[in-house]
Each structure stands twice: as structure tokens, then as C-alpha cells.
Amino acid sequence: MTVAAAAEGPLDAGERRRVAERLGREASPTELAMLGVLWSEHCSYRTSRRLLRQLPVGGPRVVQGPGENAGVVDLGGDLLCCFKIESHNHPSAVEPVQGAATGVGGILRDVFAMGARPVALLDAIRFGEPTDPVQALRFARVVEGIGWYGNCVGVPTVGGETVFDPAYRDNCLVNAMCVGLVARDRLRHARASGPGNLVLLVGADTGRDGIGGAAFASAAFDHDREQKRPAVQVGNPFLEKCLIEACQELATVPGIVALQDCGAAGLTSSCAEMAHRGGVGLDLDVAQVSRRERQMTPAEVMLSESQERMVLVVEPAGVAQVRACFERWGLHSDAIGTVTASGRLRVRDGAVIAADLPLDLLVAGSPEHRPPAHPPADLAARRARDPLDGADPPDPRRALQRLLLAGNCGEARWVWRQYDHMVGDDTVSGPGGDAAVLRLRGRDEGLALTVDGGHRSSPYAPRTAAAAAVFEAARNLAAVGAEPLAVTNCLNCGSPDQPVGMWQLEETVAGLGDACRALGIPIVSGNVSLYNDTLGHGIPPTAVVGMVGRLAPLARRAGIGFAAPGHTVLLVGPPDPSAEPGAGLGGSELQRVLSGGCHGPAPVVDADREASAQRLVRGAIRAGLLASAHDLSLGGLAVALTDACCGRGVGCSIQLPAFLGTDRRVQTAWLFGEVGARFLVSCEPASSAALRALADDEDVPVCELGTTGGDELSVLGLLAVPLAELGAWWGGAIAGALAAAGRA
């Protein structure tokens, strides 16, 4: 994207007049370019910011909420946890490897800008069907980009979520989450202060890559998708590793006032936002910026999104030591400006003034965008439809096979085997379980991490679907024995300029807030990605929730796989989905596989039921009562049983509860319904009574299903699958689909 195109940005004629009136003159091309990117949806949140104010952001463990590079929570003692999730959807759709890679690089910088050392990465990615050669290529290349950057930089990728659905064919989702640890006295902030202090640009040199990236991320796709390739940044993970280590050394350097990632909108956003937070101004000279391309204009330097760069504010006495630190790591450290008391961002190129803008106009002056919001006209009809459209219930064995071979319900080993999830030597439980677990060195405690997306019913039940994402993330932590601490979120939606799209955004934010308030979990950071839309066709509203939790003691944790033969298998939570509206089949994975549809009553979300079931499972794990635990989600009980059998190669024999009777639709709902607040657990027979006593205290139903053992998954009267065959379905779907598309 050219600077001229970036200058046009989201500013319409009325907004340009508003700027001219405020300045008392016409804005210069450089000023228009800077305003264009900072007033874009991607940077200003002009549509969503009024909605985000409704979210719960405070709590006893919150050290830093939204508004900084990353959120921070207290782990006790002198240890803090920094984390955030962001999207790189548009860049990944245009240039999958670099789009995904620079998404990883950017989220890493958000975390180590807080002074933290990154210790883990997670990703949530969504594409069209993998049997489509175009989708297979894009998917494989995104996985390549995530793995390449994370592996080279030396931060383990410990978990994530991979989903395939035709709804993401034209607009893939690539969300990256980073988690870091920092001592309390080493926490950094991005608030400039102290007139006379110096501004340093450190790290890589500056080029023309990524110019206009923020504006590009704020617009829907049309026929010129390929022409936007220059707006995608180019990453260098080895340089980022040096930048991480140099920034870690800054903890011992006196005089560091502020540290800020140089990401979307480049120097414009990093400098303007840092100064605005601190209530000061900045004078910059772009002639002092190290460049890898000649004859860059001031606007190009200010808008460049070249990667692996940070901006520091340093007291004059500390500058020499800071520059020596970066020189040791082979990185630039250019003194490009000073802090002033003006409240303005002034940009010059040597003696020539290129821009002089008040920060309250540049950073906070974008007008709110309030498009009309209306639900779809067929909302009531979609919610009322029979989830299976009156069809006869499917054969359970064939239905399970189709679910597992469709790619969403089986193991994603093909993906995570390309990621180094053990580097750093702190990964206790990596990809493939409900939540990853890292050890906290020097403590008998662990840090549990997960990322989950909203339910497929989101197009017509966005509030419920977003709440379900929060509840599922919390269940994932409970399934390993961890207590949730806080949430980061990425709200991926279509165009808010369409009334249905705006309604979906409003409902998604509301559902996220409902669930977090109900569970008492604060939201400390996040991202909004709008205009995931191509030629008027947007994605389903997709709330992706990252959650961290504390696990103590570390030795008392559970996994999804049945641990040994002879254990009792139990279902915790509502035993009979057929009693729920839609039987848990509305918008379910079974419905998608059988008919490609998405309708019917959305699964019920019940916060009290969720909280009670989660407390029960956490308490049982901490008491040493459970040998395995796994939350029920996509594919219901049938897929949870498959995961548990294939996890450690231990089969099971399950009896149908008597209350199901012989109605095949009721039995189908029991096996495949996606009702929340449910867990599949196993325990030694001697522990069953103690588990039931805990369940009585929490008023949570517990239903005994059968026993572990044997070489098959058997649900008597419904299905029997040898483990060897089941494992092939469970583990081979993604690789098989890519092979069929010629991309294995």
C-alpha cells in the first residue's frame, strides 16, 4: 500500500474538515497519513471502544488491565504473569507465511515490552475445508509461519485451536497469544514522561514493508486482495531473539522511563500513544532513523511497520549504557527525539517540519462509529428449527467416524508436531490436552494456559456463543486442576457497516462480559478484528478467549487420557442433553458434518451450573481423586470418550443410562449433544464414593457410565470401535485431508 493510499485511510471529507478546523489550516500529506492510520478501526477501535467499556477489567489479582501492551496478573510473591492475544487475519490471508510469522513476532513484543520474558505461545486458527487445495495451501503455510517464527525465536508453542469451516474460506483467522513472566520490580510501562528525556528507536532498521498495514487491516477484502501484499510485514525471528535478550538486560539499566512495541502504524502509533498516556509531547527527527532503503519520505518512516523494533524513553544519563547494550546484541539504537511538555507530536526531517499535531486529536480524536444494528430477519426461524431437520438419527458409529475425519474433533498432531513445545524446559503438559501447563520455577505450582473459540451457533446466537467460549476455556483449566485468573480476548467479526454485523458485534461483547462477570474472571487485555469480510460475505462472529490459571500443587494435575484399566468412568454435569432446548445439537459439529447447516436452539449456557461443575472437578483433582478429566465440547460425549481412549491407548465399556430409553433421537443427543458444564472423568473404584460426596456438596449430578479397559471404545447397543481403527480416525484427519489436496 502506498503512503498516498494510507493517507486516505478512513478519513472522509467531513473528518478532513474537522481536522482542518482544529488545526486552523489544512493538514499536510504526512499529517493526513498519520491521522489516517491512527483513526483507522485497527488502531482507534472507533466502532468497538464504547462496547468494550462494558467489560469487567478489575480484580484482586489484576496488576495491569487494558490500555498497555499486555495485561498483567499477580501470581503471588514477586512474580507477575503478562499475556495478550492479537489477530493477524488480513495479512495471513494475503501472505500466509509472513502474515502468521509477524503475528507471532508482534505478540511477543507486546509481552516483552512489559519487561517480561516470553515463556509460551498459543494460536487459534480457522480456515475453510482442508480438502480444498487453496485452503490446504493457506493453512499449511500459516502453520509453517507460526512454527518458523516461534521455533527460531526459542519460545515454545504449547497449545491452540484449529478449526475448519466453509465460513472461513475467504477470511481465515490467525490469532496468536503470548504469555510471559516478570518479577514485580522489573515490570515496565509504555508511558512517556520527563521533558528532556530522549526517545530511542531500537532493533532492526526501517524499510517500506508494512506501510498502511493498519488501514489494510481495517477494511474488507475485494478483488484487489493480491495488490495488498506490500502491506504485509516481513519478520526476522533471529533478530527478535536478540531484541528480547537486549530488552531483558534493560532491567538492570537505570534511567529507563518507558518501553513500547513498534507495531501497527509503526512510529506513529508507538510514539503518539506512549506520549498521550504520559500526558507529554514528543519531538522526533526522522533523519536520525536507520534505514535499509534510500529516499524514504517522513511519512514512509512514520508509517513503516518494519518488524523487530521498539521505542524507548530514557533519561539522558542512561543513554550511553542503553546504546552499549543494544550494540552488544548487534541492534540499532537511534536517538530520534526528545520528550517535551507540549502535548504535541512534532515530526521533522532535519530542518523541515513534516507534521505537528496535538496528541489529543491524533490519538483520541477519531469520531466514534455508530452504525445501525439489527438482528437477521430470519433469526426466530433459525433458532426454532429442528437441529436435525426431522431426519432420522444417524448411525452412531458412522456419525463418529465422520466427525473425526472432518478435522475438527480429532487430534491436531499434524499441526503441533511442527512447533517446538518443549524449548525452555518448563512445559509439563503441552499440546493435545485441555490446557497446557508450565512449571513455575522454585515453586510447587504450575501455570495453566488455554485458548478457545465461540460456538458455531454464533451467527444467530452470538451472545450465547461468546459466553460459551469463556465457559469452555474455564472448563479446560478446571480439567487440569487450575483456578482461572484472567482472560485475554480476540473478537473476530465481519463488517460492522452491515446492520447484522453490528448486531453480532454488540451481542458478542455482551456475551463475553456476561460470562466473565458470572465466573468472576477479569479481562485484562485483548484485540478487536473487524472487517473480516469479502465482497459482502463476513465470517461468523468468533470470540476467541485466552485464559491463564494457577495450578497448585503442580503434582496434582489431570490429563484427558484414561490412565489404566479397571477405573470407573463418570459423567459430571447434566446427564441428559435431550432435556435441553435443541438437545445440544443446534449449531453442533454433528449438524455441520451431516448437513452443513447451522440452526436450531443454541446450547444453553448456565453460569451457576458451570461454576459448580468446575469447582467440583478442580477440588477432586486437588484431592487426588481423579485419574483423568476432560471437558465435553465439540462432538459431545462421543468425542470426549474418543479423546480419553486414544490419549493413552486404554479402551472403555460404557452402558447406556436407563433414563435414555430406546428413543434414537434421545440417544443421539446423549452421545453428540454439545451442552456445557459437563466433564468426562475417571477414578479408581475406591475413590468413587468420595467423588460423589463432593458432588453432593456442590449439587452437581454425577452419572456412572462404565469402566476402562480393553482394546475398543464400546457404548453397548450403539457402537463398538477397535482402538486401532479409532486412533486412525482420530489422528489422521488433517494429514489425510492435506494429502488428498496435495499439501501433506
**Dihedral of the alpha carbons of 636, 640, 646, 650, in degrees to the nearest 10:** -130
Phi-psi region of 481 (alpha: psi -120 to 50; beta: other; left: phi over 0): left
Cell numbers 472487517 correspond to 531
- The DSSP output letter for 41 is H
Our answer to whether residue 332 is catalytic in this structure is: no
Q: Give me the phi and psi of 535, to 5 degrees please.
A: 50, 45
**Nearest CA among 528, 530, 515, 525 for reference residue 546:** 525
Q: How far apart are CA 47 and CA 39, in angstroms?
A: 11
| Integer angstrom CA distances of residue 677 from 75, 174, 641, 690 | 27, 28, 16, 20
Q: How far apart are CA 150 and CA 505, in angstroms?
A: 31
> Do 567 and 627 contact (CB within 8 A), yes or no?
yes
Q: How far apart are CA 379 and CA 374, in angstroms?
A: 10
| Integer angstrom CA distances of residue 622 from 66, 438, 687 | 32, 17, 13
- The DSSP output letter for 317 is G
CA angle 79, 81, 83 (to 5 degrees): 165
**Nearest CA among 587, 481, 591, 595 for reference residue 542:** 587
> Do 428 and 557 contact (CB within 8 A), yes or no?
yes
Residue 425 CA, distance from chain mean position: 24
Residues 6+ apart with CB under 8 A from 77: none
Our answer to whether residue 537 is catalytic in this structure is: no
3-state secondary structure of 508: helix
HEC profile of 253-267: CCCEEEEEECCCCHH
Q: How far apart are CA 474 and CA 451, in angstroms?
A: 10
Pick the catalytic residue from 42, 369, 421, 599.
42
**Nearest CA among 539, 460, 473 for reference residue 507:** 460
Pick the catalytic residue from 88, 189, 421, 567.
88
| Integer angstrom CA distances of residue 129 from 134, 166, 538, 623 | 9, 6, 16, 43
Q: How far apart are CA 549 and CA 618, in angstroms?
A: 12
- The DSSP output letter for 309 is E
Task: Examine residue 553 and say whether the peptide bond preceding it is cis (omega within 30 degrees of 0).
Answer: yes
CA angle 327, 330, 334 (to 5 degrees): 55
> Do 264 and 213 contact (CB within 8 A), yes or no?
yes
- In this structure, the number of other CB atoms found within 10 A of the CB of residue 253 comes to 15
Amino acid identity of residue 47, one-letter, is: T
Q: How far apart are CA 433 and CA 457, in angstroms?
A: 24
Q: How far apart are CA 213 and CA 546, in angstroms?
A: 25
> Do 437 and 447 contact (CB within 8 A), yes or no?
yes
Catalytic residues: 42, 88
